DNA sequence: AAAGCGTGGGT
DNA sequence: TACCCAAGCTT
């Protein structure tokens, strides 16, 4: 009896079960899954989806890609246009970083999204997850792609509670150990794992009854205590709330005088603080006459 | 390395 | 009503 590593079975079973399941349940209506989508389109979809539900991203991605199809198009766009187009997706700094990313690709990579994981990781706004997602989903490479869905799925498969914290090297290793050797199969499995977490093995409630790998899962038949959940952040009444209101005001109409910025929040001191930050970060600026507008 | 960064839908 | 959750990244 060979002493196989514990994941040997799963490595064989997962593709056999998950790939057919994915063929049947893959959300092909997500616009970036159309076959003609470029690597840049994939990258944009991933950045927009950072901490934002894909249902809200989809329509915006369509409009964005139609207006600015390539990195060079985004690189040349004006700041106020970028921020207005981004709309209410949230975390507007992502939009500005996406433009920086586009500029780097246009200037240093010949307007082509790099294939190499480290080159991707070096781009503004691209972290470990997004770099892997682009390398795998756009180029079909073999890397662990670990977002909150995959982290949860992999943890549950092995019968452990999801850490609920930021992805660790151990999470990456655990995922990598589940990938088959064949590149194309590994890439397909990576999307399937994420889709399973998104549609079936959900955070609040795992729908084990409709799971294609329920019989090999360490979670399904056990009472796994939930791990410490990620620390939740307040929004109502916080600095972020004020910042959001100010940016929204300027998306609606700009330029505006300071007196109208003060309408964003009843606490003037909080407006002062938030506005100072936004000016410092370049999300807001003043024109020659001292009126406020979205940053260039 | 913990904290900060938007927004909205579901329960 | 609150709270949870959503394809994370940066400093």
DSSP chain A: -----TTHHHHHHHHHHHHHHHHHH--TTSGGGSTT--HHHHHHHHHHTTTS-HHHHHHHHHHHHHH--SHHHHHTS-HHHHHHHHTTSS-THHHHHHHHHHHHHHHHSTTS---SHHHHHTSTT--HHHHHHHHHHTT--------HHHHHHHHHHTT-----SS--HHHHHHHHTTS-SSHHHHHHHHHHHHHHHHHTB-SS-B-GGG-TTGGG-TTTTS-PPP-PPPPP---TTSHHHHHHHHHHHHHHS-SB-HHHHGGG-S-HHHHHHHHHHHHHHTSEEE-TTS-EEE--
- pLDDT of amino acid A219: 82
What band does A160 get if pLDDT is binned at 50, 70 and 90? confident
CB A148 under 7 Å to nucleic chain C: yes
With distances taken from each CA to the C1' atom of nucleotide B2, the closest residue turns out to be: A231
Which 63-122 residues of chain A approach strand C with CB closer than 7 Å?
90-91, 97
Q: Which of A260, A261, A226 is nearest to A243 (CA)?
A: A261
- Residues A8, A29, A46, A107: which is the catalytic one? A46
Tell me the whole-structure pTM to 2 decimals: 0.95
| pLDDT of A228 strictly over 80 | no
With distances taken from each CA to the C1' atom of nucleotide B10, the closest residue turns out to be: A204
- pLDDT of amino acid A233: 86
**Residue A257, number of CB atoms within 10 A of its CB:** 11
- Share the mean pLDDT of chain A: 94
CA torsion through residues A146, A150, A152, A153, sign: negative
Q: Enumerate the nucleotides of strand C whose atoms come under 7 Å of any protein CB.
A: 3-10
- pLDDT of amino acid A68: 98
| pLDDT of A105 strictly over 90 | yes
Q: Enumerate the nucleotides of strand B whose atoms come under 7 Å of any protein CB.
A: 2-9, 11
Least confident among A41-55, A167-181, A216-230: A216-230
Q: How far is the CA of A154 from the C1' of B6 (A)?
A: 29
With distances taken from each CA to the C1' atom of nucleotide B5, the closest residue turns out to be: A91
- A29 has catalytic annotation: no
Residue range A94-105: mean pLDDT, rounded: 98
pLDDT digits (tens, 9 = 90+) for A10-41: 999 999 999 999 999 999 999 999 999 999 99
What band does A164 get if pLDDT is binned at 50, 70 and 90? confident
């Amino acid at each position: 009896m060979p002493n196989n590593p514990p994941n040997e079975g799963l490595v064989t079973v997962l593709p056999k079960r998950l790939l057919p399941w994915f063929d049947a349940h893959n959300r092909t209506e997500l616009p970036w899954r159309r076959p003609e989508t470029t690597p840049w389109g994939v990258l944009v979809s991933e950045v927009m989806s950072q901490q934002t539900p894909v249902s809200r991203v989809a329509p915006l991605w369509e409009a964005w890609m139609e207006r600015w199809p390539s990195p060079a198009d985004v690189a040349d766009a004006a700041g106020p246009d970028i921020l207005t187009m981004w709309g209410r997706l949230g975390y507007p700094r992502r939009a500005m970083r996406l433009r920086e990313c586009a500029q780097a690709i246009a200037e240093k990579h010949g307007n082509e999204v790099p294939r190499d994981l480290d080159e991707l990781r070096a781009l503004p706004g691209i972290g470990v997850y997004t770099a892997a997602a682009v390398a795998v989903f756009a180029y079909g490479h073999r890397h662990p792609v670990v977002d909150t869905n995959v982290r949860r799925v992999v943890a549950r498969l092995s019968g452990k509670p999801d850490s609920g914290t930021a992805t660790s090297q151990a999470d990456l290793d655990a995922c990598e150990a589940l990938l088959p050797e064949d590149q194309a199969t590994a890439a397909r499995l990576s999307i399937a794992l994420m889709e399973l977490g998104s549609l079936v093995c959900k955070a609040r409630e795992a729908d084990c009854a409709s799971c294609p790998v329920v019989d090999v899962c360490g979670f399904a038949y056990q009472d796994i205590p939930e791990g410490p959940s990620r620390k939740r952040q307040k929004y109502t009444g916080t600095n972020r709330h004020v910042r959001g209101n100010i940016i929204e005001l300027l998306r609606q109409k700009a330029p505006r005088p300071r007196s109208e910025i003060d309408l964003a929040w009843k606490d003037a001191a909080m407006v002062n603080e938030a506005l100072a930050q936004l000016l410092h970060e370049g999300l807001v600026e003043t024109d020659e006459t001292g009126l406020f507008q979205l940053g260039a």
